[in-house]
Amino acid sequence: MNTYDRLISGYREFKKNYLGDENREWLKVAGERQDPKVMMVACSDSRVHPAILTRSALGELFMVRNVANVVPPFEKDDAEGTYHGTSAAIEFAVNNLHVEHIIIMGHSGCGGIEALMDQSVTGENSDFSFIRPWMKIVEQANEFNEREVTTMSKKSRVCVCEQRAILISLNNLVTFPWVRDAIKEGKLQLHAWYFDIKSGNLSEYDRDSESFVEIK
């Protein structure tokens, strides 16, 4: 079976089993409106699928997936041709859906971070790229001092860069006034996750130890 036919076959199986038998009761409510409690910002990477790795059902996760799970800072920008898809989704999630949690999930082996680190999209000489200005949002994640460069392996630096980028996005979230307000009112919690693809281990950022701690 080719790749496309496999998708169609998967859909038929979903329609018959998931909608037909396993979730009949839930579907009665789902037709009305969505009421997710969680927004997740994840990477577009095909190996990191939030609904699959949290076993979430339809209606549970309000999703944004973009290159390297980046959240830009709050910017009032009326310039024609400037678009803020991720910011619009955050606004809708907090102001209209009143989600209780926003999770930013990064991962190992992230192509966006790799591009940032090897300058392939941020370098002066590269051709036009949409990825370049996008990854610049988290370019501070790639700032390593001399000691770090000499003592850390490339692999460790990639991991550190991926995790720092998640935290930059987490800090950017708080620059949105309605996010800040919801947190102050105790209605919203922010979380940072890091998924290691090879081991399948998921870690959560712990503010006390200022590190990502594996969820057991």
Q: Give the residues lining the site for Zn ion (CB under 5 A).
A: 43, 45, 110
C-beta of 43: minimal distance to Zn ion in Å? 3
C-beta of 37: minimal distance to Zn ion in Å? 25
Q: Which residue has the tokens 């947190």?
A: 183
C-beta of 19: minimal distance to Zn ion in Å? 30
Based on CB atoms, which residue is closest to Zn ion, 71 or 110?
110
Q: By the 8 A CB rule, do 172 and 137 touch?
A: yes
Based on CB atoms, which residue is closest to Zn ion, 45 or 117?
45
Alpha-carbon gap, residue 61 to 51, rounded angstroms: 7
Instruction: Please work out, in degrees rounded to the nearest 5, the angle formed at the alpha carbon of residue 76 by the alpha carbons of 125 and 71.
Output: 60
Based on CB atoms, which residue is closest to Zn ion, 135 or 182?
135
Q: By the 8 A CB rule, do 95 and 178 touch?
A: yes
The CB-side HSE value for 146 (13 A sphere, CA atoms) comes to 0
DSSP-based three-state secondary structure for 98: coil
Alpha-carbon gap, residue 158 to 116, rounded angstroms: 10
Q: Which residue has the tokens 């678009």?
A: 83
Based on CB atoms, which residue is closest to Zn ion, 110 or 121?
110
Q: By the 8 A CB rule, do 107 and 43 touch?
A: yes
Based on CB atoms, which residue is closest to Zn ion, 36 or 162?
162
125: burial class by Cβ within 10 Å (0-12, 13-18, 19+)? exposed
C-beta of 167: minimal distance to Zn ion in Å? 15
C-beta of 166: minimal distance to Zn ion in Å? 11
C-beta of 160: minimal distance to Zn ion in Å? 15
Based on CB atoms, which residue is closest to Zn ion, 69 or 87?
69
Please state whether 202 falls in left (phi above 0), alpha (psi between -120 and 50) or beta.
Answer: beta
